[in-house]
Amino acid sequence: MAALLVSKPTLFSPFLGQKLSLSSDSKRSTVCSLHFRSPRCAVDTPYEGNVPKFPRTNVWDPYKRLGISTDASEEEIWGSRNFLLDQYARHERSAEAIEAAFEKILMASFINRKKTKINLKSRLKKKVEESPPWVKNLLSFVEVPPTVIILRRLFLFAFMAGWSIMNSAESGPAFQVAISLAACIYFLNDKTKSLARASIIGFGSLVVGWVCGSFLVPMIPSVVIHPTWTLELLTSLVAYVFLFLGCTFLK
């Protein structure tokens, strides 16, 4: 009876087809030290999970990290970033490395564009300084307003031109030309704070536009012109262009 109590327990191994004895001091390592066909014990392997990791996390060059060339287009940069994030978004460090490389490329592109604009402005300024005196005097009367103002005034005079074309069969464009002239003077007065100067520039733009239209319109082939469009209408369209230029770009 005592012999049965002190006898060593046995364990049947399905891998070897034999019984294995377990000593009292054998613990977790015994399972691994047995002649199993697994190279490592499962409990000794750190849990990695099934989350894929970005292999180029420590690559310093942001272009190489995203796997693109230095002359890649903006679409290629965005496409590479989105593709990599789709694969490695579940791994936080990988996603951060991809976003950091993407932001570095965008920042470098922004700086290069800013430098290019500065270089273009400096070149333009240098050319103006080297131009003849009459060119300098002419450019001194010209200014470029913000894009929003240009688009708003362009829309206004384009609307006047379309209105004149729609009413060409009924009446002439005299009413539309008068409204366009008043709008031109209003814009110039708001800019120069001088009604007299605004009126002179406005009427001058109308006269120059009408004279240029009178010379240019007869040169247009009759095939291009719509049958209902009169000479007065076509001349007024040219005048709208000069009124737009006068109230937008003249000081």
pLDDT tens digits, 187-224: 999 888 889 989 999 999 999 999 998 888 888 877 67
Interacting residues of 91 by C-beta distance below 8 A, sequence separation 6+? 51, 52, 53, 54
Question: How confident is the model over 23-63, as pLDDT tens digits?
Answer: 444 444 443 333 333 333 333 333 345 778 888 888 889 99
Phi, psi of 35 (to 5 degrees): -80, 55
Reduced to 3 states (helix: H, G, I; strand: E, B; else coil), residue 142 is: strand
For residue 230, the model assigns a pLDDT of 84
Other CB atoms within 10 Å distance of the CB of residue 142:
10
* CA-wise closest residue to 239 among 183, 169, 198: 183
Using the predicted structure, report yes or no on whether residue 19 has a pLDDT greater than 90.
no
76-80 average pLDDT score: 90
**Is 209 exposed, middle or buried, given 0-12, 13-18 or 19+ CB atoms closer than 10 A?**
buried
CA distance 181 to 244: 10
- Distance CA(161)–CA(236), nearest Å, equals 8
Cα–Cα dist 27/32, whole Å: 10
User: What pLDDT score was predicted for residue 120?
Assistant: 66
- Cβ–Cβ under 8 Å, residues 11 and 20: yes
Higher pLDDT, 73 or 183: 183
Tokens describing residue 169:
């069969």
- The pLDDT tens digits of the residues spanning 86-145 come to 988 888 888 899 999 999 998 888 887 777 766 666 666 666 566 667 555 656 677 888
Cα-Cα-Cα-Cα torsion 87, 88, 90, 95, nearest 10 degrees, comes to -140
pTM listed for this prediction: 0.48
Distance, CA of 140 to CA of 125 (rounded, Å) = 12
- For the chain, how far is it from start to end, CA to CA, in angstroms? 118
d(CA 226, CA 204): 29
CB 209 within 8 A of CB 201: no
| CA distance readout (Å), 143 to 14, 88, 138 | 92, 51, 11
Which of the pair, 39 or 180, is modelled with greater confidence?
A: 180
CB 41, CB 31: distance < 8 Å:
yes
